[in-house]
Structure 1
Amino acid sequence: MDAMSDDIFGSARDFLLREGRLLERRLFATLFEGASADGVVDSLRGYQNPDGGFGHGLEPDKRCPASLPIDVETAFQTLVTAGSPAGGQMVSRACDWLATVAAPDGLVPLSLPVMEGYPRAGHWSDWTYAPGLNPTAGLAGLLHRMGVEHPWLTRATEGCWAELEKGFPKDAHAMSETMVFLEHVPDRDRAESAAERVGAWLPELSWYRADPADPGYGVTPLHLAPTPESHWRRLFPDDVIEGHLDRLTKDRQPDGGWAITWEPPGAAATLEYRGVETLRALQVLTAYGRCEG
């Protein structure tokens, strides 16, 4: 390990230990220190409500304790990242809850009006109440990846296919959710047929940040292909990936963590999201050989 890679990993670890919330610290220990994924699952339990959904600011940009679909998706993403088994009753209870807030076609919204009674970032507003591919496609894709079977998932999968028959979404967030769905949905012939059009569609998306020199907020190729083995890595030339890796490395802050490019609702949420982003950056840079744990 060279001095630079040691500095990246070591300073990021120190940032997470100093500033990160328990969930990211437990996830770091699982990913890089050989700890059991049980610790991650135990941390997630504190965010699960009696109704089966997840809340309490699991996604830190809204501080609502009530269950919201975006927090359920964050829980599923965490379980997948930790390499945990499907989560058993934890996941099935969350699916039961999703069924209660789904539209007739199975699609769910990102959030619900209950969040309006709590601090939240400005972009969390009423546009998030409309059911759609964001987050339904991502939720369904993650559940298929975990091998889950549930009546809501069956309905949501058909709902996602019906939406995709109308065309791809026009913003990068919804498209990234769609790409999770296409990667893991069981109907592979149908998925691969749709996948052939993804690469040409990406440049048309709002919030897609193709240029690594752009310092603004957006979804980058490294969000869509976070490892060299990623399903969607084939869409991006080597020089594009290398440019974004250079940018990600450059964006590390003097305190060892990574900054964020939006305004959370408060100081605690800012640090929590910086922990989320620091752990993501560390995973990507490690996977692509830019640093070693």
Structure 2
Amino acid sequence: MDIFTAGRDFVRRDARVLERRLFATVFEGADPQGVVDALRGFQNADGGFGQGLEPDKRCPDSLPLDVEVAFDTLLAAEARDEEMVRRAADWLDRTANSDGAVPLCGPAVEGYPRAEHITEWTYQPGINPTAGLVGRLHKLGFEHPWRDRAGAWCAAQLADGFPEDAHGLHEALEFLEHTDDVDLDRIRDWLPKLQWFRADAADPTYGVTPLHLAQTPDSFWRPLFTDAQLDAHLDRLIEDQQDDGGWAITWEPPGPAAHLEYRGIVTVGALRTLKAYNRL
């Protein structure tokens, strides 16, 4: 069975409704409104997103991490719902500190099953996820007072230096893409210093790879990497497809359902990347 068919069958069999509808939109021409409709089940009355949209915590409360996943899903589906995004941005505005910064999660997660890495460090407002959320609102073409306030804070923070971990830099790049302050050489030199950056395609451990930063050939950050680097990671991505057609994850979610949900997310993501690079 070929890569795409095996991946499709995994999504159809084991992924949750949201990823099945996203797959149908991206690969089968389904109406992106179906993705918006599926996302509605994760949006709370306060406008934020929760309900375990990001599966590493089963907390129903609205959290910035879940808002980020919602924005990513809309972008992947090329779907737009102004009211949905406005309510989420309003929630971010109310949740942020005086500078506009937000944390990934909050103490509400402590009452629910969660992965081991969802601890107090995720309660601190920071570039991760603030910069990523600002960048995604730019990609969605959505103007909002919180976007401007938080963007000014992000610019000031990044003027003093880049984050020291790959997740933080990934979020920073989402923001910097929409500014005039881009120094590719400086960023390229910083990559080897990052914790959790997996430059070597042969490394099987958890990490952020060049394909996470340049998900498509026309990505703003594609010039950070050589063709050989990207080809090696694309080869590895193909090699990592499991016998059941899905892709594995390299961390431990809070339970079997969350594990399968995350595999659905990364499988659709892997297929999207391979499609973008003409590898399907």
Q: Of 160, 163, 188, which residue of structure 1 is paired with 2:157? A: 163
Q: Does 1:49 align with 2:44?
A: yes
SS at match of 1:201: helix
Letter paired with 1:88: E
Q: Of 269, 274, 277, which residue of structure 2 is paired with 1:280? A: 269
1:82 paired residue number? 77
2:207 paired residue number? 218
Q: Of 111, 130, 145, which residue of structure 2 is paired with 1:136? A: 130
2:219 paired residue number? 230
Q: Of 1, 9, 13, which residue of structure 1 is paired with 2:8? A: 13
Q: Structure 1 segments of 4 or more deviating over 4 A?
A: none
Structure 1 residue 28, shift from structure 2 partner: 0.4
2:237 paired residue number? 248
> How many residues matched?
280
Deviation track 1:138-176 (CA, whole Å, cap 9, x = no partner) reads 000000111111111111000101111221110000100
1:102 paired residue number? 96
Q: Does 1:34 align with 2:29?
A: yes
Structure 1 residue 263, shift from structure 2 partner: 0.2
Structure 1 residue 195, shift from structure 2 partner: 4.2
Letter paired with 1:228: P
2:257 paired residue number? 268
- For residues 90 and 218 of structure 2, what CA distance do their matches in structure 1 show? 33
Residues 64 and 115 in structure 1, CA contact (< 8 A), matched pair in contact too: yes
- For residues 200 and 134 of structure 1, what CA distance do their matches in structure 2 show? 20
Contiguous gaps of at least 5 residues in structure 1: 1-5
Residues 37 and 84 in structure 1, CA contact (< 8 A), matched pair in contact too: yes
1:205 paired residue number? 194
Structure 1 residue 101, shift from structure 2 partner: 1.5
- For residues 72 and 152 of structure 1, what CA distance do their matches in structure 2 show? 14
- For residues 167 and 241 of structure 1, what CA distance do their matches in structure 2 show? 26
Letter paired with 1:32: F
Residues 99 and 106 in structure 1, CA contact (< 8 A), matched pair in contact too: yes
Contiguous gaps of at least 5 residues in structure 2: none
Residues 184 and 224 in structure 2, CA contact (< 8 A), matched pair in contact too: no
- For residues 196 and 236 of structure 1, what CA distance do their matches in structure 2 show? 11
Structure 1 residue 265, shift from structure 2 partner: 0.2
Calculate the TM-score normalised by the size of structure 1. Answer: 0.94
Letter paired with 1:17: R
SS at match of 2:229: helix
Letter paired with 2:272: Q
Q: Of 172, 176, 182, which residue of structure 2 is paired with 1:182? A: 176
SS at match of 1:197: helix
Letter paired with 2:211: L
Structure 1 residue 68, shift from structure 2 partner: 0.3
Q: Does 1:147 align with 2:141?
A: yes
Q: Does 1:60 align with 2:60?
A: no
Deviation track 1:38-62 (CA, whole Å, cap 9, x = no partner) reads 0000000000000000000000000
Letter paired with 1:255: D
Letter paired with 1:285: L
Residues 7 and 267 in structure 2, CA contact (< 8 A), matched pair in contact too: yes
Q: CA RMSD in A?
A: 0.9
Structure 1 residue 78, shift from structure 2 partner: 0.5
Letter paired with 1:137: A
